[in-house]
Amino acid sequence: MPLSTVDSSVLEPVIRRLSALRPLSTEARASLEYAMLEGLQRVGSGEDLISEGDPVDSVRVVLSGWLCRYKTLEDGRRQIVNFIFPGESCDAHAFLLSVMDHSIATMTPVVYSEIKRARFESLMADDRSLAEAFWCETLVNIAIQREWAINLGRRVAVERVAHLFCETFERLRAVGMVDGNSCVMPVTQMDLADATGLSVVHLNRTLQELRASGLIILRERMLTIPDLDALKNAALYSPSYLQLYRGAEATR
Q: How confident is the model at residue 7 (pLDDT cuts 50, 70, 90)?
A: low
Q: Are 218 and 185 in contact (CB under 8 A)?
A: yes
Residue 119, CA atoms < 13 Å, CB-side half-sphere: 17
Average pLDDT, stretch 201-228? 98
Q: How far is the C-alpha of 61 from the C-alpha of 175, rounded, in Å?
A: 14
Q: Are 60 and 93 in contact (CB under 8 A)?
A: no
* H-helix segments, 50-127: 117-126
DSSP for 198-215 reads: --HHHHHHHHHHHHHTTS
Q: Are 133 and 140 in contact (CB under 8 A)?
A: no
Average pLDDT, stretch 222-235? 98
* H-helix segments, 56-199: 117-126, 128-153, 157-173, 189-196
Q: How far is the C-alpha of 149 from the C-alpha of 145, rounded, in Å?
A: 6
Q: What is the pLDDT of residues 62-116, one digit of tens each?
A: 999 999 999 999 999 999 999 999 999 998 999 999 899 999 999 999 999 999 9
What is the pTM (predicted TM-score) of this model?
A: 0.93
Residue 214, CA atoms < 13 Å, CB-side half-sphere: 4
Residue 120 scores a pLDDT above 90? yes
**Residue 55 parent element (H or E):** none
Mapping DSSP to helix (H, G, I), strand (E, B) and coil, where does residue 113 land?
Answer: strand
Residue 192 scores a pLDDT above 70? yes
pLDDT at 237: 97
Between CA 114 and CA 126, with CA 120 as vertex, the angle to 5 degrees is: 145
For the chain, the average pLDDT equals 93
pLDDT at 252: 38
Q: Are 190 and 201 in contact (CB under 8 A)?
A: no
pLDDT at 27: 93
Phi and psi at 111, nearest 5°, equal -110, 130
Q: How far is the C-alpha of 218 from the C-alpha of 136, rounded, in Å?
A: 32
Q: How confident is the model at residue 8 (pLDDT cuts 50, 70, 90)?
A: confident
Q: What is the pLDDT of residues 142-171, one digit of tens each?
A: 999 999 999 999 999 999 999 999 999 999
Q: How far is the C-alpha of 228 from the C-alpha of 224, rounded, in Å?
A: 9
Q: Provide the CA 77 distance to its chain's centre, in angstroms.
A: 22
